[in-house]
Amino acid sequence: MSSPPDKLYFAYGRNLSLQHMATKCPNSQYVGRAMLLEYCWLFNERGHPNVIPRTSSSVHGLVFRVNGDDENSLDQSQDVQGGTYTKVFKELVLYPTSPELQLPIARLVDAVRNGAKMEAGEQEHHFEANVLVYLNETIVKRGRPRDEYLGPIRSGMKDATRLGIPEHFIRNSFQSMTPATAIRNINRRVLRPDSAQSAATEATRFRRRPFRTSGESRSRMFQREHVLRRERLHLPALAQPSLDQGLQIMAPPHVASPWLTGGLPYGDSTLHPSGQEETMHFY
């Protein structure tokens, strides 16, 4: 009995981590990066990464060639039988890497660890049909990420930028993944400090305690402080020491980036009819 044909698989979320992919799909081979048009990514209300339809938005990811064994492994890790994800086949904009860089996953891990910049060998992009994508079409409300995803996704975002995924997409993804949770935890400690020590710690971290201006309500004060803390908690404070200095995904929103145009604080890219990527609002 012949084995089923290989499939192209679109990875996002924690499967951007090459080490994670090497563990789950040891026979997979890197093909290139890709964009899923008219979709955006988020954590759904169950805490799982998901992609949902969104006009004028796109999701960047990596494409791998997987065999039947790897596909079965993906089915199990994505809990297809339990309904966490559904298998669908979508058309993507594929940016294939050069043939000599389409490496088996184990060699790709070594190449990226050694500092390879894979996008340098990219070929002409094209539309690629029938690419396997795991998503959930019914659980689409935004939620808080599960802790188990944060480490692999951070690692995956680092790998993804080395493979050519735009930095602005990574920056947006990091913003949606971590600061909201961090801000919630900070606000709990500010509003209900457990002790004088915790209050002193927060005062040191943020340099001052909340204060009310003349005629300002308490709710308005905390709303204003929430915004200020969000700025202070922005991505530079969440940077990991292991991240390369050349990986500019932690730049604050006011720092100019070649991926941002028109003065927008954030952007996402879609494919212009001319074939050029253009920048627009992410949400």
Quote the percentage of the chain above a pLDDT of 90.
39
Residue 217's pLDDT is 72
Assigned fold of 7-148: Hypothetical upf0131 protein ytfp (3.10.490)
pLDDT digits (tens, 9 = 90+) for 64-108: 999 999 999 999 999 999 999 999 999 999 999 988 788 899 999
Specify the pTM.
0.63
Tell whether the model's pLDDT for residue 278 goes beyond 90.
Answer: no
Distance of CA 25 to the CA centre of its chain: 20
Domain ranges (residues) in the chain: 7-148, 166-278
Residue 224 pLDDT class (50, 70, 90 cuts): low
Per-residue pLDDT, averaged over 56-64, amounts to: 94
Residue 123's pLDDT is 85
Residue 110 pLDDT class (50, 70, 90 cuts): confident
The phi-psi region of residue 13 (left if phi > 0; otherwise alpha if psi is between -120 and 50; otherwise beta) is: left
pLDDT digits (tens, 9 = 90+) for 114-155: 776 665 567 889 999 999 999 999 999 999 888 888 888 888
